[in-house]
Amino acid sequence: MPHPRKIDPVQYGLSPPEIRKLYSEFARLLLGRSKELLPLDRSARENLDEQVLTSPGDEADASVIDTNADYFLKLANSHQHELIEIRDALDRMHRGVYGVCESCSEGIAVARLRRLPHARLCIDCQSARERLRAVAYPREKPTL
């Protein structure tokens, strides 16, 4: 008689029908995160407008404003990116493919989804992709 499979769904993925049972938990996480992000995104953009619209009095101020504008632009872009990812995750939920790795079609570990509810890839595929990226875009690459 075979041993029952001892697979911890928190560490390993679930099958799609099992993941679907957890959709409400992850939908709450996703919606909660987007509610947090929307006001942050708005205030980053307002700060950005302010930085750009306030004309600098002298050169020293100009460099401070550049740095600040750059900071708020990066912040706004990362919020925007996360909001898009969240919208896409909710869309995958509607299509019943949420929590399934887009690369290998295995279930994404529940622990990973709790940490990163908009994850598209399982940890293995994500690490493989990051290794590839590190090869394609090495940090030490000289800029000409």
Residue ranges that bind Zn ion, judged by CB under 5 A: 101, 103-104, 122, 125
Minimum separation from the CB atom of position 114 to Zn ion (A): 17
Number of residues written out for the chain: 144
Minimum separation from the CB atom of position 47 to Zn ion (A): 38
Query: 88-118: string of b/e by CB count within 10 Å (b at 16+)?
Result: ebbebbeeebbbbbeeeebbbbbebbeebbb
Report the residue number, 29 or 119, with the smaller CB distance to Zn ion.
119
Report the residue number, 80 or 103, with the smaller CB distance to Zn ion.
103
Report the residue number, 75 or 123, with the smaller CB distance to Zn ion.
123
Task: Give the residue carrying structure tokens 């394609």.
Answer: 136
